[in-house]
Amino acid sequence: MTESPAISFHKSISSEAGTLVVLTDETLALGVETQASGIADLFRKAAGTADYKGKALATLDLLAPAGLNFDRLIVVGLGKAEELVEEDWSRLGGTVLGALRKGEQATLLAERPDGTAMSADQLADIGLGAVLRGYSFDRYKGGKAGKDSKGENGKAAKGPIRLDIVAGEASKAKKAWAARSAIAEGAILARELVNEPANVLGPVEFAEKAAELAALGVTIETLTEKQMKKLGMRALLGVAQGSVRPPRLVAMHWNGTKSKEKPVAFVGKGVVFDTGGISIKPAGGMEDMKGDMGGAAAVVGLMHALASRKAKANVVGIIGLVENMPDGNAQRPGDIVEAASGVTIEIINTDAEGRLVLADALWYAQKTYEPKAIVDLATLTGAIMVALGSDHAGMFANDDALAEALSKAGAATGEKVWRMPLGAAYDKMIESKFADIKNTGGRYGGSITAAQFLKRFVDDGVAWAHLDIAGTAMGSPQTEINRSWASGWGVRILDRLVADNYEG
């Protein structure tokens, strides 16, 4: 993993070394401090020559700018100031970071051209976007010696980018940054877990990574295969039985309220590799199935973020960790298993395995912690990608208030969700001739029938939402704040959900 950029906040420019970054808009106006820096004439001449219009996130790069001590001048456009929304500030930070070189020192004059002062939260979001953009997964490139100490062509690697953000609200921004830094760490942890190859990160190794959160004050409980058998988790164990690698279930409890208030629970699917089992997947693209634990990764990243920023909330994270392989002991289509809740399930397709893992994990979350609300995350269905592509995650919910809260959190952070339907007609599609339900309802409405399946394992009166993140957790389009195959999707939206609805 590359070193994260070093972010700091200052009330005035502390150094004229390196690169100066300033902001403009579609009127090509400049802020008061920016004009005082003496770049106005230089900028207008360069903008005219380059036909630069100040469009949102468009950059203008000037090397060795005349009359300045800085080596470079970078101008970033904000577009139409009245159209800026919350997520644009992190996108701005990512754009600034993307314009810089490794080891570079840069100063951002963070002032809006319209004269409106940036808030501490907006400034902190710029830092968040910069750190997220700076992440890359290069652990296995160049050999051990190269990755430890060398850059390209065997030369010594440069240090991290240093970004000074200069603004009047610098002192308040430092406080806001403490929380954003924790969120960035959580999202990057989720990315790391998803990016790791399955030969390195099996169920046991994943559980060990989750257990490291104990250092932050998170209470960890890890269930072994033997313990899960005793609890009757035959749905989860059925998925795992074709692999030589034993399953694990990890519960992570953060009690930031120091009270006995019922927690909010987050449950993640952790299939560390999914061959499809006996219903084996096509070979093309199967390597991507190392990311079929994106839901569990997001839950671990979320718990890291909450504990790191000392969230004043009672939260539990549950992850079911298995590998779905097709050996001689693997479960077969036509098998019937009984979940820990007592519901019997006919296995129609062994590649519809994530819902089996979640069935027992949902049961355990409710039995053990009696949560007031549950959100589960899973790279569950290709069908959700057919419906929504990679821009939105699919959201299914039995509670309108929870659904609305998730929608607002998604809009604020840029991790957007789109509510999908549930209903009796879809529930009929998973009725089985031989068991209580079957694990797939067929080709049509695949993401909906998967959600209906999960709903069977949620107790009456418990607010619940299911997020199908198959299109957003891995292999999604690169953005201003992510250049990694794994996006870490889920950490920021769920942290915001907790902050706005369950803290205090």
φ/ψ (deg, to 5) at 364: -65, -40
Burial 37-54 (b: 16+ CB within 10 A, else e): bebeebbeebbeeeebeb
Sequence-separated contacts (24+) of 28-31 with Cβ below 8 Å: 28/52, 28/53, 28/54, 29/113, 29/114, 30/113, 31/109, 31/111, 31/112, 31/113, 31/115
Cβ–Cβ under 8 Å, residues 268 and 299: yes
Cβ–Cβ under 8 Å, residues 305 and 414: no
**Any idea which residue has 């440069």 for tokens?**
158
Cβ–Cβ under 8 Å, residues 356 and 378: no
Verify whether residue 408 is a known catalytic residue. no
- Sheet containing 393-397: order of strands: 219-223, 248-255, 314-324, 264-274, 373-378, 463-468, 393-397, 417-419
Q: Give the closest residue to 300 by CA, choosing from 406, 222, 186, 219.
A: 186
Angle between helices 170-195 and 120-133 (to 10 degrees): 30
Q: Give the closest residue to 72 by CA, choosing from 107, 45, 98, 47.
A: 107
- Residue 81 DSSP code: G
Selecting among 112, 147, 150, 281, the annotated active-site residue is: 281
Which value, in Å, is the radius of gyration of the alpha carbons in the chain?
Answer: 24
The token duo for 230 is 């005793």
Verify whether residue 281 is a known catalytic residue. yes
Selecting among 248, 269, 355, 416, the annotated active-site residue is: 355
Q: Give the closest residue to 8 by CA, choosing from 77, 110, 101.
A: 110
Angle between helices 491-501 and 294-308 (to 10 degrees): 50
Report how far apart the first and last C-alpha atoms of the chain are (Å, whole number). 35
**Any idea which residue has 């907790």 for tokens?**
498
Q: Alpha-carbon distance 343 to 341, whole Å?
A: 6
Give the catalytic positions in this structure. Answer: 281, 355
